[in-house]
Amino acid sequence: MAYTESDTRAKLIDPALKAADWNEDCIKREYAITDGRKLTGGARGERLILDYLLRYKNQNLAIIEAKRADKEPTAGLQQALGYAEKLSIRFVYATNGEKIYEFDRHAGTGTFVGRFPTPEELFHKTFAEKEGWKTKFANVPFRLEDGMIPRYYQEVAINRTLEAVADERKRVLLTLATGTGKTFVAFQIVWKMFQARWNLDGTERRPRILFLADRNILADQAINTFNPLERDLVKITGKEIQRR
């Protein structure tokens, strides 16, 4: 009797992941990237859902596109690559449980492999320099409260900004539309830089960061978001600047 896709996942793919030391905390099944585009009348378009998302050390590391055992393993590869582009994920795996195809988006090439990589192997394939700033930033989890989960584009924005900092780029422009969580994104970037103790001169200390707002109400809202850093937070007003 031929396996269904559900059978293939439960009997072939899940055991293969377990054999590669992936625990349940690192595996997200049927993971929704978006709730679907908003349509007229309050309706929603089709949701974008991944078969598997593999996470390790606070990072999205790979997507697995699953097909049932009697299908070609690469049948859903192009769709998975589109998802990976949205999430800024380097590695995509397409499998029917019997064969595993690994595609590296950075290299633009793929090949069949005998097994899934372990979490450590995949992490170091993604972050080649083990002790560099990219790895240090990646090792710092987001500061989240009340079960909050970053939207996929927020996580991508935070990670890309920190990658640019790690690459010693002098200027980075990050633009976000109204209502997309600019202050939340800014806080997470600052939080990771603080916890990793990044600074320009390379010494191990927390950096000094200037957060500018053009209105007091916006500054006050930002201070509320930055409450976890209140011991390190100083509000500089226009009057204080004039006195100097």
Q: What is the mean pLDDT of residues 215-226?
A: 82
Residue 185 is predicted with a pLDDT of 93
Q: What is the pLDDT of residue 232?
A: 77
Provide the pLDDT for residue 199. 85
Residue ranges of the domains in the chain?
5-126, 133-243
Indicate whether 241 pLDDT > 70: no
Contact assessment for residue 113 and residue 94, using Cβ atoms and an 8 Å cutoff: no
Pick from 34-48, 80-94, 137-151, 161-175: least confident: 34-48
Cα–Cα distance for residue pair 61/106, rounded to 1 Å: 13
Intrachain domains 5-126 and 133-243 with the same fold: no
The per-residue pLDDT of the chain, averaged, comes to 87
**How many beta carbons lie within 10 A of that of residue 157, not counting itself?**
23
The two structure tokens encoding residue 222: 């930002």
- Is residue 116 within 8 A of residue 16, CB to CB? The reply is yes
**Per-residue pLDDT reduced to its tens digit, 27-59:** 999 998 876 666 666 666 677 899 999 999 888
Please report the pLDDT score of residue 230 as a whole number.
72
Domain 133-243 has CATH 3.40.50.300: yes
pLDDT, mean of residues 77-83: 93
Nearest to 56, CA basis, from 112, 126, 132: 126
pLDDT band at 231 (very low <50, low <70, confident <90, very high): confident
Give the pTM: 0.75
Alpha helices in 103-210 (DSSP H): 119-126, 133-138, 152-166, 182-196
171-189 average pLDDT score: 91
Q: pLDDT value at position 72?
A: 94
Please check the confidence at residue 177 and state whether its pLDDT lies above 70.
yes
Topology of the domain covering 5-126: tt1808, chain A (3.90.1570)
User: Directed axis angle between helix 216-225 and helix 182-196, to 10°?
Assistant: 50
Confidence of residue 18 (pLDDT cuts 50, 70, 90): very high
> And the tokens for 212?
């500018």
The residue ranking higher by pLDDT, 98 or 145, is 98
β-partners of residue 94 are: 65, 101
What per-residue confidence (pLDDT) applies to 200? 80
21 CB-near residues (< 8 Å, 6+ apart): 118, 119
Residue bearing the bigger pLDDT, 239 or 125? 125
Query: What pLDDT is recorded for position 11?
Result: 95
Model confidence pLDDT, tens digit, residues 123-141: 989 887 656 888 889 889 8
pLDDT at 1 > cutoff 70: no
Count CB neighbours of 123 within 10 A: 18
Rg (CA), the chain: 21
